[in-house]
Amino acid sequence: WQISMGLLYAASAVGVAFAGDMLSLFLWWEALAVTSVFQIWGRRSKQAEEAGFRYLLFHVSSGLLLLAGILFRYHGEGEGALSLAPLTDALEAGDLGALLILLAVGIKAAFPGLHVWLKDGYAEATHSGPVWLCAFTTKCAVCMLARLFPGAEILITIGIIMAIFPLFYAVLENDLRRVLCYSKINQIGFMVVAIGIGTELAIDGAIAHAFNHVLYKSLLFMCLGAVIFRTGEIRATHLGGLFKNMPWTTGFTIFGALSISFPLFCGFVSKSIIITEVARQGHTFIWIVLIFASAGVFHQAGIKIPFFTFFAKDSGLRPKEAPLNMLIAMALVSFLCLFMGCNPQWLYSLLPNGAAGYNPYDATHIITQFEILLFTGLSFLLLRSWG
């Protein structure tokens, strides 16, 4: 069930990406909800069953809001409202249909207040379920935001809230998969801000970061999935010392952590586009917020997860290394994370506007990023020493 529905889930995501009109989008949008929930139910536990129904509640509601928005716009504008044309002007003019469509997309994008399905569902999924889930649902939402609402200023405000509020929950969270969920919301916030900025380079940054985010977040979920598979445990307080028995998984986890924002890895070459374009457009306060958010997510997903899983006080667990098939998958994605970071122009050439000759490896970007990483490491040491 999990694998077969996972393949249909991937097909539904492709349907969303290639939808040519609103009605096709609605059909694939609902298919996303129905097929993805089996990644949660596949765990076959009471908690997973309940989490799956809560997940469906949010996503079926998203489909109903999308359909209502389409019908309102069709009633007001006729068949022209069924095209997948940008709705930014209609939204800013107060069009109810456009607002409902934004809310529908916002649920799948995990907007603040509409995000609880993500940490709830992913944490109760099977050991491999979050790898599927993180690749498709929220990325379809980012795709639709870029197509339907480029330059909508409300997205800037929503995006900076998304980038900040999960960090404080992640500091307190003991379930490491939930920590990854909070960091995922943080990273989607960067994409939403970029779409709200709406320039060609900002849209390119949002799309590039969505693509790279699939790689490094999937890699981290794979590594934690391997830990669950071998130990049955995911709480930070019950793990530690696993690097002795799972050295390959430890190495791949560090690879995924570095890929979030370290130079030569994929996250750096896409996130820096967004931060740079925000500064170029004169949004100084937003730039400061994103710098803080960039440090915060590296603190949580880049340092906290590898440390507590593999290097903290020995928990006494002595699991086997991850199975060969899992190691091969982690190795392939690790290679892609490094390849994208070392060959950014290959990725940029595939973007809608070609990233306008952007170069991530100038001295300013590299020095700024190392300052962020060093101070993030310092903050982690201080928080550890203060308890």
How does DSSP assign 289-303, residue by residue? HHHHHHHHHIIIIII
Tell me how far CA of residue 329 lies from CA of 218, 228, 263, 271, 335, in angstroms: 10, 16, 23, 24, 10
Residue 76 has pLDDT above 90, yes or no: no
The pLDDT confidence band at residue 315, using thresholds 50, 70 and 90, is confident
Under 8 Å between Cβ of 109 and 192: yes
Tell me how far apart the alpha carbons of residues 256 and 262 are, in angstroms, rounded to a whole number. Answer: 10
Segment 257-292, tens digit of pLDDT: 999 988 999 999 999 999 999 999 999 999 999 999
Tell me how far apart the alpha carbons of residues 239 and 262 are, in angstroms, rounded to a whole number. Answer: 26
Give the DSSP H or E segment for 215: helix 200-231
φ and ψ at residue 175, rounded to 5 degrees:
-75, 115
Which residue type does 360 have?
P
Tell me how far apart the alpha carbons of residues 216 and 255 are, in angstroms, rounded to a whole number. Answer: 8
Tell me how far apart the alpha carbons of residues 276 and 359 are, in angstroms, rounded to a whole number. Answer: 11
Give the DSSP H or E segment for 65: helix 46-77
**∠62-67-72 over CA atoms, to 5°?**
125
Segment 145-193, tens digit of pLDDT: 999 999 999 999 999 999 999 988 888 889 999 999 999 999 999 999 9
Q: Which residue has the higher pLDDT, 387 or 144?
A: 144
Q: Which residues contact 268 (CB under 8 A, 6 or more apart)?
A: 261, 262, 341, 360, 369
Tell me how far apart the alpha carbons of residues 130 and 79 are, in angstroms, rounded to a whole number. Answer: 38
| Nearest partner of 351 among 141, 216, 159, 211, judged by Cα | 211
The pLDDT confidence band at residue 223, using thresholds 50, 70 and 90, is very high
Tell me how far apart the alpha carbons of residues 366 and 364 are, in angstroms, rounded to a whole number. Answer: 6
Tell me how far apart the alpha carbons of residues 177 and 198 are, in angstroms, rounded to a whole number. Answer: 32
Segment 319-360, tens digit of pLDDT: 899 999 999 999 999 999 999 999 999 999 999 888 878 889
DSSP 8-state symbol, 321: P
pLDDT for residue 19: 94
Q: What SS3 state is found at 84?
A: coil
**∠144-145-146 over CA atoms, to 5°?**
90
pLDDT for residue 373: 87
Q: What percent of the chain has pLDDT over 70?
A: 100
**How many residues in the chain?**
387
pLDDT for residue 364: 85
pLDDT for residue 160: 96
Q: What SS3 state is found at 129?
A: helix
pTM over 0.95: no
pLDDT for residue 240: 87
Residue 382 has pLDDT above 90, yes or no: no
Tokens of 161: 């809230």
Segment 1-24, tens digit of pLDDT: 889 999 999 999 999 999 999 999
Mean pLDDT over the full length of the chain: 92
Q: Which residues contact 81 (CB under 8 A, 6 or more apart)?
A: 22, 70, 73, 74, 97
User: What are the residues facing 21 on neighbouring strands?
Assistant: 83
